[in-house]
Structures are given as structure tokens and as C-alpha cells.
Amino acid sequence: MIVGAGFAGYRTARALSRLTRGRAEITLLNPTDYFLYLPLLPQVAAGILEPRRVTVSLSGTLPRVRLVLGEADGIDLDARTVHYEGPEGDPGTLAYDRLVLAAGSVNKLLPVPGVAEHAHGFRGLPEALYLRDHVTRQVELAAAEDDPKSCAARCTFVVVGAGYTGTEVAAQGQLFTDAQVRRHPLRSGMRPRWLLLDIADRVLPELDRRLSRTAGKVLRERGVDVRTGTSVKEATPGGVLLSDGEFVDTRTLVWCVGVRPDPLAESLGLPLERGRLLVDPYLSVPGRPELFACGDAAAVPDLENPGGYTPMTAQHAWRQGSTAARNVAASLGIGESRPYRHRDLGFVVDLGGVKAAANPLGIPLSGVAAGAVTRGYHLAAMPGNRVRVAADWLLDAVLPRQAVQLGLVRSWSVPLDTASPELARVPGRPDKHVEEPMHEPAKSQPGGEPARNQAGGEPARNQPGGEPAKNQPGGEPAKNQPGGEPAKNQPGGEPAKNQPVGPGRTEPPGPVRQQDLPSAADSGTSAEGDS
């Protein structure tokens, strides 16, 4: 049984199914029916790729694997069972002989006041769709504004964390909004402004310095306001207070400070390394020969860098999936096990247009060459849907981008503090937000370490139901938003009508956390953890 169908879990399922050829029953438990190719998510937010392009159907590509839709919420190691909740709230239990935990990671938070309420993360498809709509809407609303101050606030977009996620979001975002304004200029003649903040002294702080230089140059030439050595002290409905004392009026705060392991790893009560389940080089949990873990959720010894653990990247997760499959098969008497060993093959960072920063096999590239390598790499790395992705790229090269917002994902349905970033929150189902220890100082944590200092999961007070606080980044109040109760007899958890929500109402659709008051040391917002 495999929990999680991301890079690690999908590869495990695929490789194991080939290795065992029907001699083992393979079950894959995942909340969605698709594998998500996360590295192309910034292109979904920027309107280059349609969301289904970055998904790969699980049942369509894993014919010999039994897919169970659901989210594991408890693992009984002694009874060898996994308890889960299905997509319609129905509980279930699955028994296993071998278990591979590959549940990935979730947004990392820092205890900065207002961030949980006013920022949005970038870890799943719903958040990317939300951001695309939200940004489009802000520019459209700005275009109708008479007040230059409001117009400027709507057209100012703040991205925190200059790891590859934040860097790509800001780089693509500036191109996206510039294109929108070119076709429909703002009345004030203003240009949308993207700010990219990081506490570190350079963008892409965890990657090769040459990649940082290339990315920093492209961003600055493009007009992105890159602020290194800067973090956010407080987020408010009207903007963000920076660590240097400047207050930036904005309606958009994108939180890309990194990720931390899925809380399922911690729930096992086994030894952890910064929230990741400790495994040996064979990806097996010491003392539990039937339990394997890989990807972001696992602390895998880095044999190329003794004493360290492999970073949380797609590259490692994908290759660890293959090793996990091989070692599970070996434990069943098929083939031989081997330790996980993998050298860094370089990194690619898509900066939008034809620009990218890449260092395949350690060779630094910039400009069009890097752009071509980056796109080629993604096409080769995707386990499916390549033709559709390439077709979208082609269309984007010759046609103007579609700047329309469908408004299907609302602000309240993509809270920053959630254990399920892959699912948009739906009415009537409490969100699984993450409980974490309180009051420990945040550290700059390279390599995907867990965030510390999280507030303890109290519901926020005075949050309007169903939509963000008034003037909160997140846009307009939705009509008929749910107030916690699902509508009766409505398919798919449709919002009930006339629920007590909207501006001035006080019940959110589920718990929203109140922030702790941080110390100055807590507000570090380096983009660690996402490389």
C-alpha cells in the first residue's frame, strides 16, 4: 500500500507494478485522482497552462494499481492498517503487508501576525487557480478605480520567499499583469508592481550562486522589485509591514517561504528529523521492516553528502520512488534491494517568456538556451500529458493570454494553514489545519525543514464567513458562501443558500487560526525548504 501519489508515491506505484507483474496487490491512497506536476504550477497561475495540463490521471496511467480516493488520517502500525477519509467524508480502513509513506509536504508558516489570515500559499492546484483569478480580478478592479491609491494597492503584488517557487511566481506574475495592462491600460497609466522579498541576501538562496545571479538580473530587468534581506513583520487587510519599517499597500500576499513535511509523518510517533520520518538508506524505517518512506515526508540519508539528508525536491522524490519500489519488491522476494544514491543533476528555474536559469549537469545557462533546456526538461520529466503541455506553450507563444477570472476558487477555500493543500476546502467539511508546537523561535531552515513556532490552531475571531476579512488580500466577498453547513440534497457539497456569511458576518466555514504574537526573531522569511 502506498500513501500519496506525488513524485515519490506515483513512481513507487508505477515501478512496483512493473516489477511485480501481478504478483502483488498494489493499492494507492490519494485524495485526488491525479498526479500533480508541481514545478509547472506557476505557469498555471500565470495563465500559460490550463490546470488539467499539469495533472496526470492515476487510473489512466497505472492500470494494475488499485486507486482508493481518500486522505489517510491514522496509521496503526501494529494492526497494519491505514484509516482514511474518502472524498465525500466517508471513512474507510485498508490493511497492508508493506506500507510506503509518500505524503509529501504542506505550506510552511511562520508566526508573523496576520499572515495566516491574509496570505495564500502555493502548494496545490486550488491555490494556483485562486491566484490566477485573484490577480486578474485585482487588475480589472484597479482599471475601474478613480482613486490612485486604491489602484496602486490593487496593482501591487507581494511574494514572500525567493526560493524557486516565489521566484517563478513573481517572474511569471509580472509578465502576466503587464500583458493584461497593455491590452487594457489602467486609467492612471500605472504599471503593476511585483515585490519579491527574502530574508536571505540573494534570490534562489539555496541554489548555485550563478543561478541566483541570472534570476536576479532577469527579475530586475523585468521590473520586479526584489528586496533581499527583507521580511514581513505583519500582514493586515490593507497591506504588509516590512521588516525595514515600510508599509506596502497591497491586496495580495503570496506566501512561498517553503514547505514542511506532511503532518502524517509526525502522527506515527516514530523518530523524525525536522518533521520528516527517519529512514535508512534503503528507505526503510529502522525497526519496522514493513514500513518504507520517501519524498518530502522522509529524511533520507544523503550518501553523497554523509551526515546530511537529501533535500525536498522533485528530483529526489521521483528517484526515491524507484528505489522504494525495488526494495519493497525485494522484501517480497523479487529482486534485490539497494540503497538510495543520487547525484545532483542540476536545477532549472523557469522565469517566463523565453527566459530561465538552469545548470544541467552543473553547466550554468541563461537566456534562451536555459529556457529551451528548462522546457525540454519538464516535458521529459512529466509522466504524461506532454503533448497538451507543449500545445499550450505553442498557443501561448502565438496568442494573447486569456485574462478572465472564473471565480471558482474563493479565498476561504484555500487557507494557508492546511494539511491538505491539494484540495480546495468545501462547505460542511472541517479543514484539516495543522497543529504545531507554540512559542519556539523560528530559524532559517534550509532544506525543507519543518516550520516551528506555529500558532496552536485556535479559530480566529471576527473573521467574516466564507470570505476574507474586509479588504483582506483575497478579493471580493462571495455571495451565498457557506457558513459551515452543507446544503441538503445538493450534489458535490454545494453551498447552502442564505448562510450567515459575507461581509460583516463572523463565522468562517471552518477553523481559521489566530496568530501568536511573534518575537522579532520569528519573522524571518527566508525561502528555505522549497529547494
Ligand X SMILES: Cc1cc2nc3c(=O)[nH]c(=O)nc-3n(C[C@H](O)[C@H](O)[C@H](O)COP(=O)(O)OP(=O)(O)OC[C@H]3O[C@@H](n4cnc5c(N)ncnc54)[C@H](O)[C@@H]3O)c2cc1C
Q: Which residues bind ligand X (CB under 6 A)?
A: 3-9, 29-32, 38-39, 41, 71-72, 102-105, 122-123, 164-165, 262, 264, 295-297, 312-315, 317, 422, 530
CA 236/CA 299 separation, integer angstroms:
36
CB-CB neighbours of 452 under 10 Å = 22
Q: At closest approach, how far in Å is the CB of 49 from ligand X?
A: 13
Q: At closest approach, how far in Å is the CB of 405 from ligand X?
A: 20
CA 347/CA 242 separation, integer angstroms:
30
Which lies closer to ligand X via its Cβ, residue 314 or residue 354?
A: 314
Which amino acid is present at 531?
S
Q: At closest approach, how far in Å is the CB of 7 from ligand X?
A: 4
Q: At closest approach, how far in Å is the CB of 312 from ligand X?
A: 5
Q: At closest approach, how far in Å is the CB of 120 from ligand X?
A: 13
Which lies closer to ligand X via its Cβ, residue 134 or residue 154?
A: 134
CA 356/CA 266 separation, integer angstroms:
36
Which lies closer to ligand X via its Cβ, residue 132 or residue 154?
A: 132
Which lies closer to ligand X via its Cβ, residue 40 or residue 152?
A: 40
CA 482/CA 7 separation, integer angstroms:
34
**Hey, what's the cell of 96?**
497492508
Q: At closest approach, how far in Å is the CB of 207 from ligand X?
A: 10
Which lies closer to ligand X via its Cβ, residue 9 or residue 239?
A: 9
How big is the chain by its Cα radius of gyration, in Å? Answer: 22
**Hey, what's the cell of 109?**
508558516
Q: At closest approach, how far in Å is the CB of 186 from ligand X?
A: 29
**Stretch (H or E) spanning 3:** strand 2-3
Which lies closer to ligand X via its Cβ, residue 125 or residue 152?
A: 125
Q: At closest approach, how far in Å is the CB of 477 from ligand X?
A: 28
Q: At closest approach, how far in Å is the CB of 374 from ligand X?
A: 9
Closest residue to ligand X, judged by C-beta, is 6
Name residues whose C-beta falls within 8 Å of residue 122's C-beta, 6 or more positions apart in sequence.
Answer: 41, 42, 45, 107, 128, 131, 165, 166, 169, 254, 255, 256
Which lies closer to ligand X via its Cβ, residue 105 or residue 405?
A: 105
Which lies closer to ligand X via its Cβ, residue 37 or residue 412?
A: 37
In 86-192, beta strands by DSSP E = 91-95, 99-101, 105-107, 156-160
Torsion angles phi and psi, residue 412, rounded to 5: -70, -20
CA distances in angstroms from 251 to 60, 170, 321, 471, listed in the order given: 40, 15, 40, 7
CB-CB neighbours of 373 under 10 Å = 18
Which lies closer to ligand X via its Cβ, residue 32 or residue 499?
A: 32
Long-range contacts at 214-217 (CB < 8 A, ≥ 24 apart): 214/357, 214/364, 214/366, 214/370, 215/167, 215/171, 215/349, 215/351, 215/357
